[in-house]
Structure 1
Protein backbone atom coordinates (compact mmCIF):
# COMPACT_ATOMS: atom_id res chain seq x y z
CA UNK A 1 0.00 0.00 0.00
CA UNK A 2 1.35 3.42 -0.97
CA UNK A 3 2.01 5.91 1.81
CA UNK A 4 1.03 9.56 1.89
CA UNK A 5 2.54 11.97 -0.61
CA UNK A 6 3.67 14.35 2.19
CA UNK A 7 1.92 17.47 0.86
CA UNK A 8 1.14 19.66 3.86
CA UNK A 9 -2.09 21.42 2.77
CA UNK A 10 -4.98 20.77 0.43
CA UNK A 11 -5.29 23.20 -2.49
CA UNK A 12 -8.05 23.72 -5.06
CA UNK A 13 -5.99 22.21 -7.88
CA UNK A 14 -5.98 18.88 -5.97
CA UNK A 15 -9.77 18.64 -5.90
CA UNK A 16 -11.35 16.51 -8.63
CA UNK A 17 -14.64 17.33 -10.28
CA UNK A 18 -17.50 15.13 -9.06
CA UNK A 19 -17.48 12.81 -12.08
CA UNK A 20 -13.75 12.15 -11.89
CA UNK A 21 -13.92 11.72 -8.14
CA UNK A 22 -16.75 9.19 -8.41
CA UNK A 23 -14.61 7.06 -10.74
CA UNK A 24 -11.52 7.32 -8.52
CA UNK A 25 -13.39 7.02 -5.21
CA UNK A 26 -12.96 3.25 -4.52
CA UNK A 27 -9.17 3.38 -4.93
CA UNK A 28 -8.91 6.62 -2.95
CA UNK A 29 -11.08 5.22 -0.16
CA UNK A 30 -8.77 2.22 0.16
CA UNK A 31 -5.66 4.42 0.29
CA UNK A 32 -7.22 6.75 2.87
CA UNK A 33 -8.34 3.77 4.98
CA UNK A 34 -4.65 2.75 5.09
CA UNK A 35 -3.55 6.28 6.05
CA UNK A 36 -6.21 6.53 8.78
CA UNK A 37 -5.30 3.12 10.17
CA UNK A 38 -1.70 4.29 10.60
CA UNK A 39 -2.88 7.44 12.38
CA UNK A 40 -5.68 6.03 14.60
CA UNK A 41 -4.64 5.69 18.23
CA UNK A 42 -7.00 4.33 20.90
CA UNK A 43 -6.39 5.60 24.43
CA UNK A 44 -8.27 3.86 27.18
CA UNK A 45 -11.78 2.60 26.60
CA UNK A 46 -13.39 5.70 25.11
CA UNK A 47 -10.85 7.95 23.37
CA UNK A 48 -9.72 7.65 19.76
CA UNK A 49 -7.21 10.08 18.28
CA UNK A 50 -7.23 10.23 14.48
CA UNK A 51 -4.21 12.23 13.36
CA UNK A 52 -4.88 13.97 10.07
CA UNK A 53 -2.71 14.62 7.04
CA UNK A 54 -3.36 16.25 3.69
CA UNK A 55 -4.53 12.98 2.16
CA UNK A 56 -7.16 12.28 4.84
CA UNK A 57 -8.31 15.90 4.67
CA UNK A 58 -8.50 15.93 0.86
CA UNK A 59 -10.69 12.83 1.02
CA UNK A 60 -13.00 14.50 3.57
CA UNK A 61 -13.30 17.58 1.35
CA UNK A 62 -14.10 15.42 -1.69
CA UNK A 63 -16.68 13.44 0.30
CA UNK A 64 -18.42 16.60 1.56
CA UNK A 65 -18.58 18.02 -1.96
CA UNK A 66 -19.90 14.69 -3.26
CA UNK A 67 -22.58 14.35 -0.57
CA UNK A 68 -23.73 17.95 -0.94
CA UNK A 69 -23.32 17.95 -4.76
CA UNK A 70 -21.45 21.24 -4.58
CA UNK A 71 -19.27 22.32 -7.48
CA UNK A 72 -18.98 26.11 -7.23
CA UNK A 73 -15.57 27.61 -6.47
CA UNK A 74 -16.70 29.35 -3.26
CA UNK A 75 -18.08 26.12 -1.76
CA UNK A 76 -14.95 24.20 -2.69
CA UNK A 77 -12.71 26.85 -1.15
CA UNK A 78 -14.84 26.97 2.00
CA UNK A 79 -14.50 23.19 2.50
CA UNK A 80 -10.75 23.33 1.87
CA UNK A 81 -10.27 26.19 4.33
CA UNK A 82 -12.41 24.48 6.98
CA UNK A 83 -10.66 21.13 6.78
CA UNK A 84 -7.15 22.56 6.39
CA UNK A 85 -7.60 24.03 9.88
CA UNK A 86 -7.25 20.48 11.22
CA UNK A 87 -3.71 20.16 9.89
CA UNK A 88 -0.72 21.18 11.93
CA UNK A 89 1.79 23.85 11.00
CA UNK A 90 5.56 23.40 11.31
CA UNK A 91 6.32 21.44 14.49
CA UNK A 92 2.64 20.71 15.07
CA UNK A 93 0.37 17.72 14.51
CA UNK A 94 -3.42 17.90 14.38
CA UNK A 95 -6.04 15.30 15.10
CA UNK A 96 -9.71 14.61 15.48
CA UNK A 97 -10.43 13.32 18.98
CA UNK A 98 -13.48 11.08 19.18
CA UNK A 99 -15.12 10.32 22.52
CA UNK A 100 -16.76 7.01 21.78
CA UNK A 101 -19.51 5.86 24.13
CA UNK A 102 -22.31 3.86 22.53
CA UNK A 103 -25.04 4.07 25.16
CA UNK A 104 -26.72 7.53 24.87
CA UNK A 105 -27.46 8.09 28.58
CA UNK A 106 -23.92 7.10 29.60
CA UNK A 107 -22.45 9.25 26.82
CA UNK A 108 -24.44 12.29 27.97
CA UNK A 109 -23.39 11.74 31.59
CA UNK A 110 -19.69 11.30 30.73
CA UNK A 111 -19.63 14.34 28.42
CA UNK A 112 -20.93 16.40 31.35
CA UNK A 113 -18.50 14.80 33.85
CA UNK A 114 -15.43 15.11 31.64
CA UNK A 115 -15.49 18.88 31.00
CA UNK A 116 -11.87 19.08 32.24
CA UNK A 117 -10.69 16.65 29.53
CA UNK A 118 -9.05 19.36 27.34
CA UNK A 119 -6.54 20.09 30.13
CA UNK A 120 -5.54 16.43 30.42
CA UNK A 121 -4.81 15.24 26.86
CA UNK A 122 -1.19 14.99 25.73
CA UNK A 123 1.35 13.59 23.30
CA UNK A 124 4.61 12.30 24.72
CA UNK A 125 7.73 12.94 22.64
CA UNK A 126 11.03 11.07 22.53
CA UNK A 127 12.73 13.29 25.12
CA UNK A 128 10.03 12.40 27.70
CA UNK A 129 8.10 15.68 27.50
CA UNK A 130 4.32 15.57 27.57
CA UNK A 131 2.90 18.17 25.21
CA UNK A 132 -0.61 19.33 26.09
CA UNK A 133 -3.21 19.52 23.36
CA UNK A 134 -4.78 22.77 22.19
CA UNK A 135 -8.50 22.31 21.61
CA UNK A 136 -10.60 24.31 19.16
CA UNK A 137 -12.47 26.67 21.53
CA UNK A 138 -15.51 26.71 19.22
CA UNK A 139 -16.21 23.12 20.26
CA UNK A 140 -16.19 23.68 24.01
CA UNK A 141 -19.28 24.82 25.84
CA UNK A 142 -20.05 25.31 29.51
CA UNK A 143 -21.11 22.17 31.27
CA UNK A 144 -20.72 19.64 28.44
CA UNK A 145 -18.13 18.39 25.98
CA UNK A 146 -18.76 17.61 22.35
CA UNK A 147 -18.10 13.99 21.37
CA UNK A 148 -15.79 15.22 18.56
CA UNK A 149 -12.90 17.65 19.06
CA UNK A 150 -10.16 19.10 16.89
CA UNK A 151 -6.87 19.15 18.75
CA UNK A 152 -3.34 20.25 17.91
CA UNK A 153 -0.07 19.39 19.63
CA UNK A 154 3.02 21.60 19.26
CA UNK A 155 5.78 18.99 19.48
CA UNK A 156 8.51 21.12 17.87
CA UNK A 157 11.45 18.88 16.97
CA UNK A 158 10.19 16.07 19.21
CA UNK A 159 9.20 12.71 17.78
CA UNK A 160 5.83 11.50 19.11
CA UNK A 161 6.12 8.18 20.98
CA UNK A 162 2.84 7.97 22.94
CA UNK A 163 -0.58 9.56 23.32
CA UNK A 164 -2.43 9.78 26.60
CA UNK A 165 -4.91 11.30 28.95
CA UNK A 166 -4.44 12.04 32.65
CA UNK A 167 -8.06 12.85 33.54
CA UNK A 168 -9.04 10.83 36.62
CA UNK A 169 -11.22 7.95 35.50
CA UNK A 170 -9.66 7.87 32.03
CA UNK A 171 -5.96 7.91 32.97
CA UNK A 172 -4.34 5.95 30.12
CA UNK A 173 -1.29 5.99 27.85
CA UNK A 174 -0.85 4.28 24.48
CA UNK A 175 2.63 3.65 23.11
CA UNK A 176 2.80 4.32 19.37
CA UNK A 177 3.78 1.49 17.04
CA UNK A 178 6.75 1.95 14.72
CA UNK A 179 4.33 2.49 11.82
CA UNK A 180 2.37 5.12 13.75
CA UNK A 181 5.57 6.94 14.70
CA UNK A 182 6.72 6.96 11.08
CA UNK A 183 3.35 8.28 9.89
CA UNK A 184 3.35 11.16 12.39
CA UNK A 185 6.98 12.00 11.62
CA UNK A 186 6.12 12.10 7.90
CA UNK A 187 3.30 14.53 8.71
CA UNK A 188 5.64 16.72 10.78
CA UNK A 189 8.16 16.69 7.92
CA UNK A 190 5.47 17.69 5.39
CA UNK A 191 4.28 20.53 7.67
CA UNK A 192 7.85 21.80 8.00
CA UNK A 193 8.13 22.00 4.20
CA UNK A 194 4.61 23.38 3.85
Structure 2
Protein backbone atom coordinates (compact mmCIF):
# COMPACT_ATOMS: atom_id res chain seq x y z
CA UNK A 1 0.00 0.00 0.00
CA UNK A 2 1.24 3.48 -0.78
CA UNK A 3 0.41 6.65 1.09
CA UNK A 4 -1.94 7.59 -1.75
CA UNK A 5 -4.19 4.63 -0.89
CA UNK A 6 -5.82 6.07 2.22
CA UNK A 7 -9.35 6.43 0.84
CA UNK A 8 -11.33 4.16 -1.46
CA UNK A 9 -13.03 5.98 -4.35
CA UNK A 10 -15.61 4.60 -6.76
CA UNK A 11 -12.91 4.73 -9.46
CA UNK A 12 -10.90 2.14 -7.47
CA UNK A 13 -13.64 -0.45 -7.91
CA UNK A 14 -14.33 -2.76 -10.81
CA UNK A 15 -17.63 -2.68 -12.68
CA UNK A 16 -20.00 -5.52 -11.73
CA UNK A 17 -19.28 -7.68 -14.80
CA UNK A 18 -15.52 -7.13 -14.60
CA UNK A 19 -15.53 -8.09 -10.92
CA UNK A 20 -17.62 -11.18 -11.67
CA UNK A 21 -14.92 -12.35 -14.10
CA UNK A 22 -12.05 -11.62 -11.71
CA UNK A 23 -13.83 -12.50 -8.45
CA UNK A 24 -12.25 -15.89 -7.85
CA UNK A 25 -8.66 -14.68 -8.35
CA UNK A 26 -9.27 -11.49 -6.34
CA UNK A 27 -10.73 -13.44 -3.43
CA UNK A 28 -7.80 -15.87 -3.53
CA UNK A 29 -5.35 -12.95 -3.43
CA UNK A 30 -7.19 -11.32 -0.50
CA UNK A 31 -7.26 -14.60 1.47
CA UNK A 32 -3.51 -14.90 0.99
CA UNK A 33 -2.94 -11.31 2.14
CA UNK A 34 -5.12 -11.76 5.22
CA UNK A 35 -3.07 -14.72 6.51
CA UNK A 36 -0.52 -12.44 8.14
CA UNK A 37 -3.12 -9.85 9.16
CA UNK A 38 -5.00 -12.19 11.51
CA UNK A 39 -4.10 -12.64 15.19
CA UNK A 40 -5.97 -15.00 17.52
CA UNK A 41 -6.34 -13.92 21.14
CA UNK A 42 -7.41 -16.36 23.82
CA UNK A 43 -10.01 -19.05 23.21
CA UNK A 44 -12.73 -16.89 21.65
CA UNK A 45 -11.39 -13.82 19.84
CA UNK A 46 -9.44 -12.72 16.78
CA UNK A 47 -8.04 -9.45 15.46
CA UNK A 48 -8.45 -8.98 11.69
CA UNK A 49 -6.24 -6.07 10.65
CA UNK A 50 -7.74 -4.05 7.83
CA UNK A 51 -6.13 -2.00 5.07
CA UNK A 52 -7.03 -0.37 1.76
CA UNK A 53 -7.10 -3.69 -0.05
CA UNK A 54 -9.14 -5.65 2.50
CA UNK A 55 -11.73 -2.86 2.67
CA UNK A 56 -11.81 -2.47 -1.11
CA UNK A 57 -12.42 -6.22 -1.42
CA UNK A 58 -15.18 -6.03 1.20
CA UNK A 59 -16.94 -3.22 -0.66
CA UNK A 60 -16.54 -5.00 -3.99
CA UNK A 61 -18.01 -8.20 -2.53
CA UNK A 62 -20.96 -6.41 -0.90
CA UNK A 63 -21.81 -4.70 -4.20
CA UNK A 64 -21.52 -8.01 -6.03
CA UNK A 65 -23.78 -9.91 -3.62
CA UNK A 66 -26.40 -7.24 -2.97
CA UNK A 67 -26.45 -5.57 -6.43
CA UNK A 68 -27.43 -2.22 -4.86
CA UNK A 69 -25.85 0.02 -7.48
CA UNK A 70 -24.75 3.62 -6.90
CA UNK A 71 -26.90 4.15 -3.82
CA UNK A 72 -25.38 1.13 -2.10
CA UNK A 73 -21.90 2.16 -3.27
CA UNK A 74 -22.20 5.48 -1.42
CA UNK A 75 -23.24 3.67 1.78
CA UNK A 76 -20.45 1.09 1.49
CA UNK A 77 -17.78 3.77 0.96
CA UNK A 78 -19.12 5.67 3.97
CA UNK A 79 -19.12 2.51 6.11
CA UNK A 80 -15.72 1.08 5.16
CA UNK A 81 -13.47 4.07 4.44
CA UNK A 82 -13.07 4.84 8.17
CA UNK A 83 -11.44 1.39 8.50
CA UNK A 84 -8.62 2.20 6.07
CA UNK A 85 -5.46 3.04 8.09
CA UNK A 86 -4.38 6.65 7.66
CA UNK A 87 -0.60 6.26 7.94
CA UNK A 88 0.00 6.45 11.68
CA UNK A 89 -2.45 3.82 12.87
CA UNK A 90 -3.43 0.19 12.66
CA UNK A 91 -7.12 -0.60 12.24
CA UNK A 92 -8.72 -3.91 13.15
CA UNK A 93 -11.99 -5.72 13.32
CA UNK A 94 -11.93 -7.52 16.69
CA UNK A 95 -14.35 -10.44 16.84
CA UNK A 96 -15.56 -12.92 19.41
CA UNK A 97 -16.26 -16.10 17.46
CA UNK A 98 -18.34 -18.46 19.58
CA UNK A 99 -20.65 -20.91 17.80
CA UNK A 100 -22.78 -22.01 20.75
CA UNK A 101 -25.41 -19.27 21.38
CA UNK A 102 -25.64 -19.96 25.13
CA UNK A 103 -21.87 -19.84 25.59
CA UNK A 104 -21.69 -16.73 23.39
CA UNK A 105 -24.28 -14.89 25.49
CA UNK A 106 -22.57 -15.89 28.75
CA UNK A 107 -19.09 -14.84 27.56
CA UNK A 108 -20.21 -11.55 25.98
CA UNK A 109 -22.26 -10.68 29.09
CA UNK A 110 -19.08 -10.92 31.18
CA UNK A 111 -17.01 -8.66 28.89
CA UNK A 112 -18.68 -5.26 29.05
CA UNK A 113 -16.43 -2.45 27.77
CA UNK A 114 -13.76 -4.88 26.55
CA UNK A 115 -13.35 -2.52 23.58
CA UNK A 116 -11.64 -0.06 25.96
CA UNK A 117 -9.21 -2.70 27.25
CA UNK A 118 -7.57 -3.78 23.97
CA UNK A 119 -3.92 -2.89 23.60
CA UNK A 120 -0.75 -3.22 21.59
CA UNK A 121 2.41 -3.33 23.70
CA UNK A 122 5.63 -2.09 22.11
CA UNK A 123 8.65 -3.19 24.15
CA UNK A 124 6.47 -3.18 27.28
CA UNK A 125 4.66 0.13 26.69
CA UNK A 126 0.91 -0.28 26.16
CA UNK A 127 -1.03 1.62 23.52
CA UNK A 128 -4.81 1.27 23.97
CA UNK A 129 -7.28 0.98 21.09
CA UNK A 130 -9.81 3.65 20.25
CA UNK A 131 -13.14 2.04 19.29
CA UNK A 132 -15.21 3.38 16.39
CA UNK A 133 -17.84 5.66 17.88
CA UNK A 134 -20.69 4.96 15.43
CA UNK A 135 -22.62 2.85 17.96
CA UNK A 136 -22.12 1.72 21.54
CA UNK A 137 -20.57 -1.74 21.56
CA UNK A 138 -21.55 -2.49 25.16
CA UNK A 139 -25.26 -2.29 26.05
CA UNK A 140 -26.86 -1.09 29.28
CA UNK A 141 -26.88 -4.62 30.72
CA UNK A 142 -23.08 -4.83 30.35
CA UNK A 143 -23.11 -7.24 27.40
CA UNK A 144 -20.54 -6.45 24.74
CA UNK A 145 -20.93 -6.90 21.00
CA UNK A 146 -19.27 -9.81 19.23
CA UNK A 147 -17.77 -7.37 16.68
CA UNK A 148 -15.67 -4.27 17.41
CA UNK A 149 -13.98 -1.84 15.00
CA UNK A 150 -10.87 -0.35 16.59
CA UNK A 151 -7.97 1.98 15.85
CA UNK A 152 -4.51 1.87 17.39
CA UNK A 153 -3.12 5.40 16.96
CA UNK A 154 0.69 5.63 17.02
CA UNK A 155 3.14 8.47 17.60
CA UNK A 156 6.02 8.79 15.12
CA UNK A 157 8.34 7.20 17.70
CA UNK A 158 5.96 4.27 18.23
CA UNK A 159 5.73 3.73 14.46
CA UNK A 160 9.53 3.51 14.24
CA UNK A 161 9.66 1.10 17.19
CA UNK A 162 6.95 -1.06 15.62
CA UNK A 163 8.82 -1.20 12.29
CA UNK A 164 12.01 -2.32 14.06
CA UNK A 165 11.80 -6.10 13.75
CA UNK A 166 13.77 -6.56 16.97
CA UNK A 167 11.00 -4.83 18.95
CA UNK A 168 8.77 -7.07 21.04
CA UNK A 169 5.18 -6.42 19.97
CA UNK A 170 2.30 -7.95 21.91
CA UNK A 171 -1.42 -7.56 21.43
CA UNK A 172 -3.98 -8.29 24.07
CA UNK A 173 -6.67 -7.28 26.48
CA UNK A 174 -6.42 -6.52 30.16
CA UNK A 175 -10.15 -6.91 30.82
CA UNK A 176 -10.47 -8.71 34.17
CA UNK A 177 -12.56 -11.50 32.61
CA UNK A 178 -10.41 -11.96 29.49
CA UNK A 179 -6.75 -11.49 30.39
CA UNK A 180 -4.94 -12.62 27.25
CA UNK A 181 -2.01 -11.44 25.15
CA UNK A 182 0.09 -12.84 22.35
CA UNK A 183 3.39 -11.85 20.77
CA UNK A 184 3.16 -10.90 17.09
CA UNK A 185 5.18 -13.06 14.74
CA UNK A 186 7.82 -11.56 12.44
CA UNK A 187 5.50 -12.20 9.47
CA UNK A 188 2.59 -10.36 11.07
CA UNK A 189 4.81 -7.44 12.11
CA UNK A 190 6.15 -7.13 8.57
CA UNK A 191 2.65 -7.20 7.08
CA UNK A 192 1.26 -4.62 9.50
CA UNK A 193 4.28 -2.31 9.22
CA UNK A 194 3.24 -1.67 5.61
CA UNK A 195 0.16 0.17 6.91
CA UNK A 196 2.33 3.02 8.18
CA UNK A 197 3.63 5.94 6.09
The corresponding residue for 2:29 is 31
Q: Mean alpha-carbon deviation: is it higher for 113-122 or for 18-27?
A: 113-122
- For residues 71-95 of structure 1, what are the alpha-carbon distances to aligned partners after superposition, in whole Å with 9 as ceiling and x for unaligned? 22x3212211210111232311111
TM-score, normalising length from structure 2? Answer: 0.87
Q: Mean alpha-carbon deviation: is it higher for 157-166 or for 53-62?
A: 157-166
- Determine whether 1:142 maps to 2:116: no
Question: Quick one: which of 123, 129, 146 aligns to 2:125?
Answer: 129
Query: Contact 1:52–1:86 (CA<8 Å) still a contact in 2?
Result: yes
Distance in 2, Cα, partners of 1:31 & 1:9: 20
Question: Quick one: which of 39, 57, 60 aligns to 2:58?
Answer: 60
What secondary structure is seen at the aligned counterpart in 2 of 1:187? Answer: coil
Question: Quick one: which of 148, 155, 166 aligns to 2:174?
Answer: 166
Distance in 2, Cα, partners of 1:139 & 1:93: 21
What secondary structure is seen at the aligned counterpart in 2 of 1:171? Answer: strand
Distance in 2, Cα, partners of 1:184 & 1:174: 15
Unaligned runs of 5+ in 2: 164-168
Cα RMSD, aligned residues only = 1.7
Distance in 2, Cα, partners of 1:45 & 1:164: 12
Question: Quick one: which of 45, 48, 71 aligns to 1:47?
Answer: 45
Q: CA deviation at 1:5?
A: 6.2
Question: Quick one: which of 99, 102, 115 aligns to 2:99?
Answer: 102
TM-score, normalising length from structure 1? Answer: 0.88
Aligned residues: 184
